[in-house]
């Protein structure tokens, strides 16, 4: 099974641990990206401030998750971030062949 993972993948982040564990369970793990920028430093702080509130910029940033999931043809998505917009979750459910979308807090 091909499983897409949404979340930051710095060493020892939860998404990184999931990406490391899934192949041991005989699944193909694919990093889809993050719901918000995870860059460090001033650039990251500035980008996170711009995308802090739901709006067209955040929707554009998150729609790339849908495009990546569609391109990867994943069977399921695991998100460790609760900051996904409802439009993003709907896009993940509608636009490709995944059967399940797991999002915390939804």
pTM: 0.79
Say how many CA atoms lie within 13 Å of 98 toward its Cβ. Answer: 26
Among the residue ranges 5-19, 27-41, 92-106, the one predicted with the least confidence is 92-106
Residue 42 pLDDT grade (very low, low, confident, very high; cuts 50, 70, 90): confident
Looking at every residue in the chain, the average pLDDT score rounds to 82
Q: At what angle do helices 56-72 and 86-94 cross, to 10 degrees?
A: 20
**Domains identified in the chain, total number:** 1
Whether the predicted pLDDT of 57 surpasses 60: yes
Q: Is the pLDDT of residue 105 over 70?
A: no
What is the Cα–Cα distance from 103 to 39, expressed in whole angstroms? 22
**Of residues 52 and 1, more confidently modeled:** 1
Q: Is the pLDDT of residue 96 over 60?
A: no
Per-residue pLDDT, 27: 96
Residue 6 lies in domain: 2-102
Classified as helix, coil or strand, 66 is: helix
Q: What is the CATH number of the domain that holds 78?
A: 3.40.50
């Amino acid at each position: 099974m091909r499983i897409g993972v949404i979340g930051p993948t710095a060493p020892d982040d939860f998404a990184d641990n999931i990406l490391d564990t899934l192949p041991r369970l005989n699944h193909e793990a694919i990093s889809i990206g993050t719901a918000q920028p995870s860059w460090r430093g001033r650039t990251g702080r500035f980008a996170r401030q711009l995308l802090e509130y739901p709006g067209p910029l955040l929707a554009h940033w998150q729609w790339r998750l849908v495009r990546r999931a569609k391109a990867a043809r994943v069977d399921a998505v695991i998100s460790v971030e609760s900051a996904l917009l409802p439009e993003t979750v709907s896009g993940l459910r509608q636009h490709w062949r995944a059967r399940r979308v797991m999002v915390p807090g939804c």
